[in-house]
Amino acid sequence: MPRSPIKRPPASLDISRTLRTVEQLPPQLTGQALFGRDLPLEIEIGSGKGLFLSNAASAETSHLFLGIEIMDKYAQHSAGRLAKAELDNAIMVSGNAEPLFQERIEAGTLEAVHVYFPDPWWKKRHRRRRVVNPTSITNIARALRSGGRFHFWTDVLDYFETAVEMIAEITPELGVPIPEEELEANHDLDYRTHFERRSRKYHIPVYRVRYEKR
């Protein structure tokens, strides 16, 4: 299914506080280094239009949120959403999450990692491009603190089953998958992400789990 068009934020909106390039990031991604505050840090990989990040940051003001989005236009759009909501506990990074997890996150430091509706990469030969892969799972498990959460939602059954098997085999310290419930949607933005809204609109089943690191 093609993605809907994306708008860059208007020039009148200042996104300098809510958007970073990889070059502008501190060497280690901690709450203190990013926000000047020692609060629990949650990271979303592949934020798309940024609905989860802005809703979560508004709801949980005692946590810090970092969204990482590889497509610059989407990172800018999400940064615009954060700036418009005047959030001071969330930042978007325009860049690739994989090297950031590999090199810039200390072990046992993250409160949560969120991956919602990652690109499916249907073809077998493209599978290693998936955001949830053996390397990323190892990095995510290492980065989480004990008791930290990994949320993974997808509408691709094969992706879901492969990821659950992979996690059981490679990172048993993440424990067992805990099913997550969908929210009741009374409003157009009562969804965790835009892709969740789309799946519900077209009656596509969604597989939702959370892991809690032992």
48 binds ligand SAM (CB under 6 A): yes
For residue 69, what is the enclosing H or E element?
strand 64-69
Piece of the chain touching ligand SAM by CB under 6 A; list 17-25, 34-42, 54-62, 66-74? 66-74
119 binds ligand SAM (CB under 6 A): yes
Structure tokens, 141: 């498990």
206 binds ligand SAM (CB under 6 A): no
User: Are 67 and 93 a contacting pair, CB within 8 Å?
Assistant: yes
Residues in region 97-116 near ligand SAM by CB under 6 A: 97-98, 116
* DSSP conformation letters of 122-190: -SGGGGGGSSSSHHHHHHHHHHEEEEEEEEEEES-HHHHHHHHHHHHHH-GGG-S-EE-PPPP--STT-
94 binds ligand SAM (CB under 6 A): no
138: closest CA among 160, 96, 116, 105?
105
Min. distance of Cβ 107 from ligand SAM in angstroms?
20
195 binds ligand SAM (CB under 6 A): yes
Residue 124 burial by Cβ neighbours in a 10 Å radius (0-12, 13-18, 19+): exposed
80 binds ligand SAM (CB under 6 A): no
Is there a catalytic annotation at residue 188?
A: no
117 binds ligand SAM (CB under 6 A): yes
Min. distance of Cβ 170 from ligand SAM in angstroms?
18
Residues at the contact surface with ligand SAM, assessed by CB under 6 A: 45-48, 68-71, 74, 96-98, 116-119, 131, 193-195
> Known catalytic residues?
119
